[in-house]
């Protein structure tokens, strides 16, 4: 079983700890606030009130044996200093994966420099995600696989109806690649979907119909240019 330590139980840290525990992981949740610790005690493996800048205290709670530690402390001068010291302590304990929440790119660079293997920017990422949703509301689920490039899920608009992949010319017109097609009407029947309803290698003569689910890959800018109607 995977073991995680979540340090800092603000809104982000608390939700992360609960989500990990609900997924079946062993979770040690840490914060300085007794009320916050008590509020999550029944939802994680272990909830501890302690100072994460104390390396000996971390080791006493078995934090040196977790697979991943996530530092989720909030913002502010002294709080950020505590985040940095916590990352330093976690690295000294030999934890291989240390994730840290950063309020800005500069603070993220500092956390990475002292030992964070992954830096998360919730505020920045949320703003970017919402900006994209507003600009390209026709884009459904999106998986980022490189900065500025994604694999996205879109519903074929009426203008695509009864046209072949060759006729649509997605690569030539929009610089995106069609990866797979799921026939319309099967979304609610995922478990019953027949293999013939999934076209994982669309050919030039594959015909697209309104409502088909298309998996497309390309830059975020090009994906946003795909037709909505």
Q: Where among 125, 152, 182 does a domain terminate? A: 125
Half-sphere exposure of 147 (CA within 13 A, CB side): 0
Based on the domain organization, do 153 and 103 belong to the same domain? Answer: no
Boundary (domain end) residue, out of 74, 104, 125: 125
Residues in the chain predicted with pLDDT less than 70, given as ranges, are 75-77, 185-196
Over the stretch 93-150, which tens digit does the pLDDT of each residue have?
999 999 999 988 999 999 999 999 999 998 887 777 777 777 777 777 778 777 788 8
pLDDT at 190: 43
> Does residue 94 sit in the same domain as residue 37?
yes
Nearest to 200 by CA among 214, 170, 179, 176: 179
Q: Which residues of 109-123 are buried (b: 16+ CB within 10 A; e: fewer)?
A: ebbbebbbbebbbee
CB 64 within 8 A of CB 3: no
pLDDT given for residue 184 in this prediction? 79
In terms of residue numbers, what domain contains 83? 3-125
Q: Are residues 23 and 121 in the same domain?
A: yes
pLDDT value at position 149? Answer: 87
pLDDT at 77: 62
118 and 140 housed in the same domain: no
What's the total number of domains in the chain? 2
pLDDT of residue 29: 97
User: Is 26 in contact with 2 (CB distance < 8 Å)?
Assistant: yes
């Amino acid at each position: 079983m995977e073991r995680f330590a979540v340090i800092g139980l603000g809104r982000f840290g608390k939700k992360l700890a609960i989500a990990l525990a609900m997924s079946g992981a062993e979770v040690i949740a840490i914060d300085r606030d007794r009320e916050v610790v008590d509020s999550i005690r029944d939802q994680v493996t272990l909830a501890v009130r302690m100072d994460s800048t104390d390396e000996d205290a971390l080791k006493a709670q078995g934090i040196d044996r977790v697979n991943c530690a996530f530092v989720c402390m909030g913002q502010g001068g002294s709080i950020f200093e505590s985040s940095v010291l916590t990352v330093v302590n976690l690295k000294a304990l030999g934890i291989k994966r240390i994730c840290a929440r950063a309020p800005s790119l500069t603070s993220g660079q500092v956390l990475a420099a002292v030992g964070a293997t992954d830096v998360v920017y919730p505020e920045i990422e949320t703003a970017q995600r919402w900006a994209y949703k507003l600009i390209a509301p026709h884009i459904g689920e999106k998986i980022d696989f490189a900065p500025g490039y994604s694999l996205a899920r879109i519903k074929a608009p009426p203008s695509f109806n009864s046209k072949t992949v060759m006729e649509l010319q997605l690569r030539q017109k929009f610089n995106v690649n069609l990866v797979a097609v799921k026939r319309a009407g099967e979304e609610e029947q995922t478990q019953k979907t027949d293999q013939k309803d999934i076209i994982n290698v669309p050919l030039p003569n594959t015909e697209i119909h309104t409502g088909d689910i298309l998996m497309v890959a390309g830059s975020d800018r090009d994906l946003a240019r795909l037709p909505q109607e």
